[in-house]
A = this chain, B = another copy of it.
Amino acid sequence: MFTKVLVAEDYEIANQGIVKVLNDAVGIYNIHEAQYCDDAYLKFRKAHQSEEPFELLITDLSFKENHKVQTRTSGIELIQDIRKIQPDINIIVYSQESRPDKINMLFQKLNINGYVCKGQHAIKELVHCIQGVYKGNIVLPPEVKDANQDNIINLDDFDIMLLEELALGFTKKEIVQKLKKQKISPNSESTIDKRVSKLFDDFKAKNTTHLVAIVKDLGLL
């Protein structure tokens, strides 16, 4: 089993809970805690430099800002920064988020090893997830396993960019200008139209406003 683990979680009650689970149910005792992203990063780097690296990171996604100045505010940035130092580190994200699309994104973009959803069965799922990751598996939460199947809509970066620009209130003409300025193709208004129309079909949206509302609800933006 993993011997050295870092738990990054700002919510102090949960933090205590996780440590207890690791002790009692998994049998890990060398556990370091961090309540702030920056703190987690520093602890991680120090351990890596002194050649006593962590084997597993368990982290939340959202860290509330407080009086202290934090350079990293979200767990996503923390993961990216830590992966730069130690690419093969095992990472389990442990968060409130339960929207399948958003969780899927974590696996795709950040290559996390496991995800546990804070909730009723968090203890059982956490134990199961750690054991699975230790065996080298990718452990999806039941929320994603159930929901997946065929309703996954594959959005490429261009689609995401379009959605973001539209959500920021830019007109298609403005988006076209931006694209041309940045020399990104495609960049004709007609193609943008076509792309957005395809998104209408995908998400069964009636118009741009509806589309952005749907995508916001799904947590993709």
Q: Bound state CA distance, A212 and B212, in angstroms? A: 8
Q: Which residues in chain A, 1-55, are within 8 Å of chain B measured between CB atoms?
A: 10-14, 16-18, 21, 35
Q: Bound state CA distance, A16 and B208, in angstroms? A: 45
A111 within 8 A of B: no
A: number of interface residues (CB 8 Å): 39
Query: Shortest beta-carbon distance, A77 to chain B, in Å?
Result: 18
Query: Of B13, B166, B211, which contacts A122 at CB under 8 A?
Result: B13
Tell me which residues across on chain B come within 8 A of A76, comparing CB atoms: none
A168 within 8 A of B: yes
New A-B contacts (14) at CB < 8 Å, excluding given A11-B118, A13-B17, A64-B120: A12-B120, A12-B123, A13-B21, A16-B17, A17-B17, A64-B119, A66-B121, A167-B209, A168-B206, A168-B213, A169-B205, A169-B207, A209-B212, A213-B221
Tell me which residues across on chain B come within 8 A of A210, comparing CB atoms: 167-169
A157 within 8 A of B: no
Query: Shortest beta-carbon distance, A176 to chain B, in Å?
Result: 16
Query: Of B96, B122, B208, B213, which contacts A12 at CB under 8 A?
Result: B122
Q: Bound state CA distance, A153 and B213, in angstroms? A: 21
Tell me which residues across on chain B come within 8 A of A96, comparing CB atoms: 96
Query: Of B13, B14, B21, B206, which contacts A169 at CB under 8 A?
Result: B206
